[in-house]
Amino acid sequence: MFNKMNREKKIITTSFIGVGGNILLVALKATIGLLANSISIIMDAINNLSDALSSVITIIGTKLAGKKPDKKHPYGHGRVEYLTSLVIAVIILVAGIMAIYESIMALVNHETPTYNNISLIVVSIGIVIKVILGLFFKKMGKETHSDALSGSGLDALFDALLSAGTLVGALVAMFANVYIEGYIGILIGLFIIKSGIGVLMESVSNIIGQRANSEITNGIKELVASFPGVKGVYDLILNNYGPNRVIGSVHIEVDDKMTAKEIHPLTRAISGEAYLKYGVILTVGIYASYNDYPEYTVIRDDVFKKVKEYKEIKEIHAFYIDKDNKIINFDLVIHFGKDIDPQQIIASIEAYIKEKYPEYQVIIVQDNDFSD
């Protein structure tokens, strides 16, 4: 499970290192860019300034996300981090658009840069620093599950690659007397925009609510299934309220002869283990497993065989027959798909069962395919 205080400290420390490194690059590149009249170096400096601003926003967002839950926001403030990533994406996009605009203007105005050994050394130093920052940010982003840090790391590595392009352009200008500055600036801008769109899409996806990581969901299901008395694990739903706060629910199938006295400690133990191992606050619901008379097995096998005819159906579970009230009850998990009509599938299966077992009422519940 994540250590919240340690995670926040790591993100903030990493971001401060990013601010310092990028401010240093801004000062060096802006000075050399102005002296050399190099649009690509100046744009590189502006991009570094946007990176420094991104790190500042990450610090602010992390502090806000770390606020304790309150009455108005009982799930905490963790999703502020996704808003932070969204703001960073916008900053990256603006930097990319500016780079393209200034580069086009340089081509239109036929601006000619002048380079010297010092400018080449500064650009080379910038490449090394950016590679180090990029790898460090990506490592810390993965370690802390921070999209903002991971996005900044990816952006820094792109910057290093594009600075290498600037260096190539400078060498071409010095030795071949061919000026490709404007074109390199446009290329830089396009790469920055591409990076910004990636960060933007990931941020929006997190805000909307995306499918939980299959490694985590499979791990939780295996954990729950390992408890004695659990015959099946279904309907796992995980709601993400920030990288460090996940609240979910799951259904377990148990023998219908189990008493509340037996079920209560079982569900509490499952919730406790899920929190200790995965940091997930998990509510456990119950399905009863019943196969105490011969007719049950016949009907169940028949229904399961029918359900298997539908490739659109992922799973059937919670099958239960109330023989006293003559009710057949079960849940279906139906795959997502624009050409799939869940209600039509359910109606077809329901019609089949009613025709074959007219004495029974049929209740079919559609479950969404929330997790792997």
- DSSP calls for 169-217: HHHHHHHH----HHHHHHHHHHHHHHHHHHHHHHHHHHHH--PPPHHHH
pTM: 0.71
Beta bridge partners of 249: 237, 283
d(CA 158, CA 202): 17
Enclosing H/E stretch for 369: none
pLDDT of residue 323: 85
d(CA 182, CA 38): 9
pLDDT of residue 1: 47
In sequence order, which ranges of the chain are alpha helices (DSSP H)? 4-36, 39-65, 80-108, 117-144, 147-176, 181-208, 214-225, 260-278, 294-307, 342-356
Q: Kindly give, in sequence order, each residue whose CB lies less than 8 Å from that of residue 247, ignoring residues fewer than 6 positions away.
A: 75, 238, 239, 241, 280, 281, 282
Going along the chain from its start, the domains and CATH numbers come out as 4-208 (1.20.1510.10), 214-368 (3.30.70.1350)
Low-confidence ranges of the chain (pLDDT < 50): 1-2
pLDDT of residue 115: 65
Contact criterion met (CB below 8 Å) for 92 and 190: no
What is the per-residue pLDDT across 150-181, written as a single tens digit (0 to 9) for each? 877 877 787 777 777 777 777 887 787 777 77
SS3 239: strand
d(CA 163, CA 165): 5
Give helix 4-36 / helix 39-65 axis angle, nearest 10°. Answer: 160
pLDDT of residue 143: 85
- How many Cα atoms are found within 13 Å in the side-chain-facing hemisphere of 74? 2
d(CA 266, CA 269): 5
Beta bridge partners of 289: 255
Tokens at residue 40, please? 């690509």
Tokens at residue 83, please? 């808003």
d(CA 285, CA 276): 19
Contact criterion met (CB below 8 Å) for 179 and 37: no
What is the per-residue pLDDT across 105-156, written as a single tens digit (0 to 9) for each? 878 887 666 667 777 787 788 888 889 988 998 888 888 878 778 877 877 7
Enclosing H/E stretch for 279: none
Residue 318 region by backbone torsions, left for phi larger than 0, else alpha for psi between -120 and 50, else beta: left
